[in-house]
């Protein structure tokens, strides 16, 4: 299938909130380039722990093994708009505050169970936020109608949506993600449209 | 022979230019092939072909800097990190959009033959006769029986994989073995056939990939990295196919960085004498002479060259005496279709990455069907299992969530339409003399839109897609009508159409400019209508046929 249709199909088949795959589809949508954020090593460590909570090491490697924190730094600075950059960076503090509120402890000091409970809540909050944002933007776009070159001033994305998207894309397109969490064959040599599959067999990495 | 004199000049090195060079050199002509952009050598210059996602700093995505630098390319999938250097610079080569037109260009040796979707379908007489039967545009001066042997000829060389289906509106060709359909695609195809009593078909895509060893090329390895350039030569491109054949003759001179600014015309002999070239690196101007000229600069750029040629005789340029030059611009409109979930098949999966899908040939306004618009559309699509980008019910964070994502998800099936656009006189290109490109050359102004016929068709394209999937048992079908902006099909056609009458067309049935019979235009600009099938195979066939005619006429002393 042609790449353009395939990507659209993935997006559409999975509903309006496409996590992870979306950056491949549309990249960053706005025009304004961000000035860049200086992430400290502390920030990167923090992001690694967030990512590891989302995709922890199980019997396969986790997000930290794929250096997702470093990947987030590159993606946020190079690919995000200034608005999203700021929202993402502010999100580090907000996440910590939310953790304090829920567990009376900082995220870095929280137990894995506390971290997971927090992120499950933040995920719900972020999904609700993105849904409402999406509906608002859709209405605005419909109002604009044919003015397809119109530049919209949309509010930034929820910080946790960005963190989760980057965790998923950063992990599953990394070498450890593709080769150890998933299966990857660089040169398949053939295509078989119908092979047997049994539960537990890994999905193919598509890179 | 002086060094600036050749038997033939080919302007452009993409799909049709490559064919022109191959055919003319193999017939013994000394050929100069001019390419406006840089050289890309087969294999050696496919610099990213063996990289994996993790080798790219943004994993293949796009940065804000890229978005700023590519205001047109950013509008759809072409703007990405993996093959950015294979797309023309929007900044160096701007154009004017009177109405929005997404023009995605490849300015380098091989042109878009390195980037194309590789879907390859024959036209039938339902296509060639449509204009005449419906009184739209001008009648094609060619019918299927004339072009069929040339389809055979180019398919045998290019290597096309596909299945023989015996469909009158999608004629079979010289196929290498077809690629496999997935189990879901096979079952959906069977259910569609049953539901529509054999009147609708879902077949494996016919695609310019070799599925068996072919000439010196290695068969497709199913990496799905085609647009990085294929080191195996698994798909047809100028580099993998026509260029090496032309070079083997010893008759080809390839000159990259050569922007043709005009075709030189002699009003006494009423023939072209050569071309003027602006060297894109040095800005120096050169002239090259030849007996025949093949214009294959890609649809809109071929119109641009004609408009800038022989303006002392025709203010509108060479080929403008009919007033058809620049007009009747077409594309295929797409971005509309449906998709959904397929239950079951949990014990089935696929192996390999197939850079192909399924195809549903046209079924509207044919075989007795009658709609409130003219012509029709086909679908491309596929059925596969979801990957890690999906949502997992009840899980959002943690080890169970991750482990669930490391397994394939549900099967999904989706199809997207490719619709025919009619030829309209006011869908056109003109020269914008107020704007200059990097080399100080005037640029094109594009004025093109979908009209009532296309907009009505899109309703069917969306609803028929959903209806067919539902009829085939697909669940949660989601239909969409997204962005149908012209240009996004990357199938620009028309602007120098062929016809029977020099008063209403730019080219005759042999692709010769009526006003300069030694100039052959064989890229998409010659198209008098668009059909709904992907056009490149038709350019190949007409190019080979025109080259044969050119050499015959040359031998007879007619050119």
Report mean pLDDT in 10-residue bins for chain B, 559 residues: 90 98 98 98 97 96 95 94 96 98 98 98 98 98 98 98 98 98 98 97 98 95 97 98 98 98 97 98 98 98 98 98 98 97 97 97 97 98 95 94 97 97 98 97 98 98 98 97 93 98 98 98 98 98 98 96
Is A30 a member of any domain? Answer: yes
Size of interface A-B (CB pairs under 8 A): 246
- Tokens at B499, concatenated: 């016809």
Is A188 a member of any domain? Answer: no
- Tokens at B394, concatenated: 């009840």
- Write out residues 301-360 of B within 8 Å (CB-CB) of A: 334-335, 337, 339-341, 346-357
Minimum-distance CB partner of A34 among B52, B61, B64: B64
Task: Give me the pLDDT at residue B483, please.
Answer: 82
Is A198 a member of any domain? Answer: no
Is A158 a member of any domain? Answer: yes
Which residues share a beta bridge with B379? B360, B417
Is A194 a member of any domain? Answer: no
Can you tell me which residue has the tokens 């024959």? Answer: B122
| Residues B402, A58: C-beta atoms closer than 8 Å | yes
Cα B453 off chain centre by: 22
| Nearest residue of chain A to residue B54 (CA atoms) | A174
| Nearest residue of chain B to residue A180 (CA atoms) | B406
Task: Give me the pLDDT at residue A7, please.
Answer: 45
- Write out residues 454-493 of B within 8 Å (CB-CB) of A: 478, 480, 482-483, 485
Domains contained in chain A, number: 1
Per-residue pLDDT tens for B19-66? 999 999 999 999 999 999 999 999 999 999 999 999 999 999 999 999
Task: Give me the pLDDT at residue A147, please.
Answer: 62
| Residues A14, B408: C-beta atoms closer than 8 Å | no
Distance CA B133, CA B19 (A): 32
Task: Give me the pLDDT at residue A140, please.
Answer: 87
Is A186 a member of any domain? Answer: no
Distance CA B522, CA B242 (A): 15
| Residues A9, B389: C-beta atoms closer than 8 Å | no
- Tokens at B556, concatenated: 């007879």
Task: Give me the pLDDT at residue B375, please.
Answer: 98
Nearest-CA distance from A203 to chain B in Å?
5
* Integer angstrom CA distances of residue A49 from A37, A67, A166, B555: 19, 10, 13, 76
Percentage with pLDDT > 70 across chain A: 80
| Residues A12, B61: C-beta atoms closer than 8 Å | no
Task: Give me the pLDDT at residue A36, please.
Answer: 81
Q: Which domain holds residue A39?
A: 3-181
Is A207 a member of any domain? Answer: no
DSSP SS3 for B385: strand
Measured between beta carbons, which residues in chain A are less than 8 angstroms from residue B485?
148
Measured between beta carbons, which residues in chain B are less than 8 angstroms from residue A194?
180, 182-183, 186, 348, 350
| Residues A148, B61: C-beta atoms closer than 8 Å | no
- Write out residues 192-211 of B within 8 Å (CB-CB) of A: 205
Distance CA B317, CA B339 (A): 47
| Nearest residue of chain A to residue B66 (CA atoms) | A79
User: Do residues A154 and A31 touch, judged by C-beta distance below 8 A?
Assistant: no
- Tokens at B139, concatenated: 């009648």
Task: Give me the pLDDT at residue A34, please.
Answer: 54
DSSP per residue over B203-268, as a string?
A: EEPPBSB-SS-BTTBPPP-----GGG--TT--B--IIIIIHHHHHHTT-EEEE-SEEEEEEEEETT
Task: Give me the pLDDT at residue A23, please.
Answer: 42
- Tokens at B502, concatenated: 């020099």
Q: What is the mean pLDDT of each run of 10 residues along chain A (207 residues)?
A: 45 33 40 72 98 98 98 96 95 98 98 98 96 91 71 88 96 97 97 97 90
Which residues lie closer than 8 Å to B139 by C-beta, 6 or more apart? B131, B132, B499, B500, B528
| Residues B407, A199: C-beta atoms closer than 8 Å | yes
| Residues A149, B100: C-beta atoms closer than 8 Å | yes
- Write out residues 41-80 of A within 8 Å (CB-CB) of B: 53-56, 58, 60, 62, 71, 74-75, 78-80
Minimum-distance CB partner of A21 among B57, B205, B389: B389
Please give the helix or strand (H or E) that residue B475 lies within, else none: strand B475-481
Distance CA A54, CA B400 (A): 10
Per-residue pLDDT tens for A57-96? 999 999 999 999 999 999 999 999 999 999 999 999 999 9
Tell whether A168 lies on the interface with B, counting CB pairs under 8 A: yes
| Residues B480, A12: C-beta atoms closer than 8 Å | yes
Neighbours of B519 (CB within 10 A): 30
Q: At CB < 8 A and 24+ separation, what contacts does B501-507 make?
A: B501/B138, B502/B321, B502/B322, B503/B322, B504/B138, B504/B322, B504/B324, B505/B138, B505/B322, B505/B324, B506/B306, B506/B319, B506/B320, B506/B322, B506/B324, B506/B325, B507/B319
| Residues B406, A182: C-beta atoms closer than 8 Å | yes
Is A173 a member of any domain? Answer: yes
DSSP per residue over B433-454, as a string?
A: EEEE-TTS-EEEEEE----HHH
Distance CA B252, CA B28 (A): 10
């Amino acid at each position: 299938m042609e790449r353009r249709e395939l990507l659209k199909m993935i997006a559409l088949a999975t509903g309006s909130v496409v996590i992870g795959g979306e950056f491949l589809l549309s990249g960053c949508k706005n025009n304004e380039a961000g000035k860049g954020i200086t992430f400290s090593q502390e920030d990167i460590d923090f992001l690694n722990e967030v990512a590891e909570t989302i995709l922890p090491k199980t019997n396969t490697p986790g997000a930290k093994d794929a250096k997702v924190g470093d990947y987030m730094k590159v993606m946020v600075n190079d690919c995000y708009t200034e608005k999203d950059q700021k929202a993402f960076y502010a999100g580090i503090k907000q996440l910590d505050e939310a953790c304090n509120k829920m567990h009376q402890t900082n995220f870095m000091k929280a137990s894995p169970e506390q971290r997971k409970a927090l992120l499950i809540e933040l995920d719900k909050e972020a999904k609700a936020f993105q849904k409402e944002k999406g509906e608002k933007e859709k209405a605005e776009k419909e109002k604009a109608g044919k003015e397809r070159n119109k530049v919209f001033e949309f509010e930034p994305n929820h910080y946790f949506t960005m963190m989760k998207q980057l965790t998923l894309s950063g992990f599953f397109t990394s070498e450890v993600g593709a080769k150890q969490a998933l299966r990857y064959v660089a040169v398949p040599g053939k295509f078989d449209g119908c092979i047997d599959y049994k539960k537990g067999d890994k999905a193919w990495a598509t890179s | 022979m002086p060094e600036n004199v050749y038997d033939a000049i080919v302007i452009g090195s993409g799909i049709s230019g490559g064919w022109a060079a191959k055919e003319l050199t193999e017939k013994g002509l000394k050929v100069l092939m001019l390419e406006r952009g840089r050289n890309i050598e087969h294999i050696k210059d496919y610099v990213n072909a063996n990289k994996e996602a993790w080798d790219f700093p943004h994993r293949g995505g796009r940065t804000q800097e890229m978005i700023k630098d590519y205001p047109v390319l950013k509008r759809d999938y072409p703007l990405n990190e993996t093959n950015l250097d294979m797309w023309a610079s929007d900044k160096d080569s701007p154009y004017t959009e009177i109405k929005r037109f997404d023009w995605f260009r490849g300015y380098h040796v091989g042109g878009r033959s390195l980037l194309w979707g590789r879907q390859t379908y024959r036209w039938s007489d339902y296509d060639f006769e449509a204009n005449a039967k419906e009184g739209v545009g001008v009648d094609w001066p060619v019918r299927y029986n004339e072009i069929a042997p040339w389809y055979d000829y180019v398919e045998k060389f290019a290597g096309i994989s596909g299945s023989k289906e015996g469909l009158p509106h999608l004629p079979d060709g010289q196929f290498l073995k077809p690629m496999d359909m997935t189990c879901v695609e096979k079952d959906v195809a069977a259910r569609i056939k049953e539901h529509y009593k054999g009147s609708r078909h879902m077949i494996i895509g016919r695609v310019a990939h070799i599925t068996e060893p072919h000439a010196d090329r290695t068969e497709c390895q199913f990496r799905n990295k085609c647009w990085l350039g294929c080191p195996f030569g698994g798909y047809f491109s100028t580099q993998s196919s026509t260029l090496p054949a032309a070079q083997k003759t010893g008759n080809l001179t390839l000159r990259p960085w050569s922007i043709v600014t005009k075709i030189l015309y002699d009003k006494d002999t009423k023939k072209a004498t050569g071309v003027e070239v602006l060297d894109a690196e040095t800005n120096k101007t050169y002239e090259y002479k030849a007996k025949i000229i093949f214009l294959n600069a890609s649809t809109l750029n071929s119109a641009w060259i004609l408009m800038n040629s022989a303006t002392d005789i025709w203010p509108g340029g060479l080929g403008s005496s009919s007033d058809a030059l620049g007009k009747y611009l077409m594309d295929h409109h797409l971005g509309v279709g449906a998709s959904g979930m397929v239950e079951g098949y949990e014990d089935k999966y696929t192996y390999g990455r197939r850079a192909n899908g399924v195809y549903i040939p046209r079924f509207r306004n044919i075989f007795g069907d009658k709609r409130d618009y003219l012509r029709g559309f086909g679908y491309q699509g596929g059925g596969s299992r979801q990957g890690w980008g999906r949502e997992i019910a009840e899980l959002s964070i943690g080890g169970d969530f991750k482990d669930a994502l490391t397994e394939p998800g549900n099967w999904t099936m989706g199809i997207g339409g490719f619709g025919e656009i009619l030829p309209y006189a006011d869908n056109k290109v003109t020269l914008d003399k107020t704007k200059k490109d990097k080399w100080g050359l005037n640029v094109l102004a594009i004025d093109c839109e979908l009209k009532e016929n296309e907009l009505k068709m899109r309703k069917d394209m969306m609803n028929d897609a959903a209806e067919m999937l539902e009829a085939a048992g697909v669940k949660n079908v989601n239909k969409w009508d997204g962005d149908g902006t012209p240009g996004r099909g990357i199938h620009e056609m028309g602007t120098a159409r062929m016809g029977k009458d020099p008063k209403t067309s730019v080219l005759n049935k042999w692709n010769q400019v009526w006003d300069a019979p030694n100039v052959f235009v064989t890229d998409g600009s010659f198209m008098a209508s668009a059909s709904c099938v992907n056009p490149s195979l038709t350019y190949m066939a007409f190019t080979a046929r025109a080259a044969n005619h050119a050499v015959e006429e040359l031998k007879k002393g007619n050119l």
